[in-house]
Amino acid sequence: MDMTEKRKLFESIVPQYSEKLYWAIRRIVLCHDDADDVLQNVFIKVWNGIDDFQNRSKLSTWLYRIAVNESLDFLRRKRNVASLDMSDNLSVANRLEADQYFDGDRVQALLQEAIASLPDVQRVVFNLRYYDEMKYSEISQLLETSEGALKASYHIAVKKITAFMKEHQ
């Protein structure tokens, strides 16, 4: 693919997928600024890897895989960095309510806290299935795991979220 074709393809991808990918990332990393940073990294990886995309999966699956992997890598790096920031001591719900970009109510903030309390894989599976309404077959390709394992992860995630919400209301 020559540079002109690459640029045209990339320029069609960015506006078509920016918002969807942003929200997929945001539900994993929670903070607007972090989501913007991760999204930027995703598009850098897309630009660098677009020549290698081989159409073995749908373009959206490839993009979501990059976004999910970048989000999880971001969380791993964040956990490994010792932070003295006092806001880290606040609950997820309190941080979201203080975020100028969060437009939900207390129940939605608690839901996000419940989701944030899930292990990474359960959180990703829940978000992709519940918010992005992806089919298990798509998530299976994206995460390279069986549909049965995904269904189990989703079911367990729903039970944990339900228990969390009951406990905090």
What band does 87 get if pLDDT is binned at 50, 70 and 90?
Answer: very low
22-31, 57-66, 83-92, 152-161: which is most confident: 152-161
d(CA 89, CA 142): 33
Q: Is the pTM of this model over 0.85?
A: no
More confident residue, 119 or 80: 119
Domains of the chain and CATH, by start: 1-81 (1.10.1740.10), 90-169 (1.10.10.10)
Dihedral of alpha carbons 50, 23, 31, 126, sign: negative
Closest among 70, 69, 74, 63 to 134, alpha carbons compared: 63
d(CA 16, CA 18): 6
Q: Taking residues 50-68, report their average pLDDT.
A: 89
How many angstroms separate the first and last alpha carbons of the chain?
A: 55
Write out the two tokens for 95.
């941080």
d(CA 79, CA 82): 7
Write out the two tokens for 142.
């994206």
